Every structure is written in structure tokens, then in C-alpha cells.
Amino acid sequence: MWKKYKEIKDDKDRIIKDIEKARQKTFDRAVNLLTYKPRSVKELQARLMEKEWTNSAIVEEVIKKLESYGYLNDAQFAKNFAAAKLRQKPIGKRVLQQKLAQKKLDKETIEQAIEKAFTDAPEAEIIELAIEKRLRIKGKPTERTDVKRFYDFLLRQGFSYDLVSSKMREIAKRELEQDEPD
């Protein structure tokens, strides 16, 4: 399903008759959008600017008010988002960084959220979960092409090349040890 984005007009093209009414309407829309899901400041700002009955000054005012109430906090949003993504599915730092960047967060906030998320759950533990799940679903890779697919799968999940290489060597070593006769 394609999402239609409205063309956002410049402030000079916006005509606001009743500023107080526009301010209240913008605030109500912001609260409504935040009840559906948490959003970053820039994400909310973009959604609010879609409407013609508001302007950037009103949107900034509403965002400042929401920040003072504690409803908007990019650092907390990023940390919660990162932790939730890691709980949903084992992914590496690179993929998590891309997902956070899509939320229109600044680099420093993204880096802090990733650092916190991988402090709580180290990447080595997360890749183990991804490996276990893949082995459960696809079974042990037997042919060279299966091993390549497994390797590529882990790289696509955002895990670093070095980490994937070391884990794949461990898997191969375990396989050899299990195959050796006593």
C-alpha cells in the first residue's frame, strides 16, 4: 500500500485566519498522532506540517509544549525504539542504525541509542539468537551454497562481517567435532 504524501506548502502560502484555533487544532492533532505511536520530533513536525491550517511557528510552539510535558523526547524515543526492535527480531547494529535514521533522528542520538541497546544485549548474544532461529527453520547448512546463504542472511541482518565470520567458523568447528567418531 503506497502512502500518499501531501505537498507541504511554504509558510508564505499558508493563510491562517484564527491563530488560537489553529494552535489548538495543531496541538490536538499532535496528541492524537502520539497516541497511535511514539514519534521523533522531526517525524511529528513533518506530519503536523501536512495540514494547511497551521504553520511552522505554531508547530514549533506545540512541539515545545509537548517537550515540556514530557511527551516528546528524541533520546528516550530512540532508546525505546532500539530496544523494541531488538526484542522483536535479532538484528545487528547496521540494520538498527538504518531503522533509527528512518525516524529522522540525529546521528548523536542514534549512536547513543545503539550503544545503550547493545550494552543491555551484546551483539554476540543477539547473533546467537539469529543463528539458532535460522538453524531451527532451515536446518544445518550441508552444501557450500547453503553455507553461503546462511552467511549472507546474517550479513543482511546487519551483523558485522568479522562477527559473522567468527560465528560461522564456530558453527563449522562444532559440526566437525560432532562428526568425529569417538
The whole-chain average pLDDT of the chain stands at 86
- Give the domain ranges of the chain: 13-69, 74-120, 123-177
* pLDDT tens string 106-147: 999 999 999 999 998 888 889 999 999 988 988 888 888 988
pLDDT at 181: 58
pTM over 0.75: yes
* pLDDT tens string 67-85: 999 899 999 999 999 999 9
Banded pLDDT at 100 (limits 50, 70, 90): very high
- With 90 as the cut, is the pLDDT of residue 66 above it? yes
The DSSP annotation for the chain comes to: -PPPPPPPPPGGG---S-HHHHHHHHHHHHHHHHHHS---HHHHHHHHTTSTT--HHHHHHHHHHHHHHTS--HHHHHHHHHHHHHHHS---HHHHHHHHHHTT--HHHHHHHHHHHHHHS-HHHHHHHHHHHHHHHH----SHHHHHHHHHHHHHTT--HHHHHHHHHHHHHHHHHHHS--
